[in-house]
Amino acid sequence: MNLTFKSLAASVVAALALSNFSSAAEQSAKPAAAAAANSTTRASAKWKHPRTQWGDPDLQGTWPVVHLISVPLERNPQYGDRLQFTPEELAEQQKRIDARNKRYQEEDASDRIGQGHWAEVTEMPTQTSLIVDPPNGRLPPQTDVGKQLSAKMGSSWNHKVFDSIADFDTWDRCITRGMPASMFPFQYNNGIQILQTPGYVVINMEMVHEARIVPLGKVPPLDGEVKQWLGSSRGHWEGNTLVVETGNFNGQISMTSAGTGSPGSSLSPRATSAQLRLVERFERTSDDDLIYKVTAIDPVTQTASWTAQLPWKRNDKYQLFEYACHEDNEAIRNYITSSRASRAKEAAGK
C-alpha cells in the first residue's frame, strides 16, 4: 500500500535525537563534490523552485530509483574515466535491458511470479557507474584495517557455511542495508520518499522499511558515545540544496551491499568504522528531477573518500509496499540448522 507518513513524522521527529557531523569531514568532501559537479544537470533558468508553506525549498515527493537498477556502483574498467556511454555501447546496453524486462513481462502475461519478478523492469543506464569520484568510477583501496574487518564480515551472498549470525550481514538479518548502500538501487524495493515538516526532513526507504529523520538547523548533536546503525544526521540548506551530514555510526554495517548495481553483479562486504562520515546533497533541478550526491569518508577503513551521484526522477504514482522482514523470521535459523545438518552428514560419511 502507499505509505503516507506526514502526520507520523510530525509526531515522532521531536522525540528523536540525532547527531551532527564535523566540519572537517565536510571540508574533506568538497573536492569530491567539486569533481562531480561537471556532470550535474542544473535547473532551468525559467524553472522556479517550489517552497513549502513555511518557506523551505520543497523536495517532497516519491523519488524511486528503479530506473537506475542497471547502473553499477563501480565502473567497468573498460570505460576508463568516461561517465557516459558511446552510441555503440548504448546499443549493447539496450539489448541487455530488453532481455531483462522481457522476463518480467512474460511472467505478467502468464499470471505468475517467478525469478523474473525479483528483477524489476528498469530503463537504459544513464551513466557508466554511480561513483563519479574518483574519476575512474572505482572504490578507493581499503586500508589494512579495512581489509581485515571486511574479511570477517559474513553474507549469504558469499558464504557457504553458516554456523551463527556472524555468518550473515545486517541485510540478511533484516536489520538494515547500511549506509550509504540504502540510498542505492537494487533489483527490487527501490522506493524513496521525502517528507518535510518545519525543522525536519524525513527520508523514507522502501527497502528494510527504514525512515531517516533529519533535523534541520542548529540542533544539539547526539553524544559521541551513542552509536547507531544509520548514524545520526543533521541537515541545513545551502540555497535550494539540502545538505545532510551524518556521523555516530556503530561500525557494524557494510558501506556497500552485495548485488548493488547491474544484474549479476556482487560486491563483497566493505567494512566501516565508527569514524564513518557521510555528506549528502539533494538538489532539485525541476518538478520531476533531483540530483542526489553522497560522499563517504572513513579514514580507518579506506584510503580516500569517494562520491556517488544519482539522477532521481519523481513518480508520485509509485507505491511503496511493506517490506515484511524482521530479524526473528525463520530464514537465518533455517540456514544455520540445515548447514550444520549437512556438515554432520558429510562427517559421518553418509
Tens digit of each residue's pLDDT, the chain (350 residues): 333 333 333 333 333 333 333 444 444 444 444 444 444 456 777 899 999 999 999 999 999 999 999 899 999 999 999 999 999 999 998 888 888 888 888 887 888 877 666 677 788 888 999 999 999 999 999 999 999 999 888 888 777 888 988 888 888 888 999 999 999 998 888 999 999 999 999 999 999 889 999 999 989 889 999 999 999 999 999 999 999 999 999 999 999 876 554 444 456 789 999 999 999 999 999 999 999 999 999 999 999 999 999 999 999 999 998 888 888 788 889 999 999 999 998 888 87
HEC assignment per residue over 72-112: CCCCCHHHCCCCCCCHHHHHHHHHHHHHHHHHHHHHHHCCC
Does residue 135 have a cis bond before it (omega within 30 degrees)? no
Rg, the chain, Cα only: 21
Nearest to 293 by CA among 183, 142, 128: 183
HEC assignment per residue over 157-178: CCCCCCCCHHHCCCCCCCCCCC
Nearest to 290 by CA among 10, 99, 41: 41
Could you tell me the CA-to-CA distances from 136 to 19, 26, 311, 319 in Å, in that order?
32, 22, 19, 35
Model confidence, pTM: 0.83
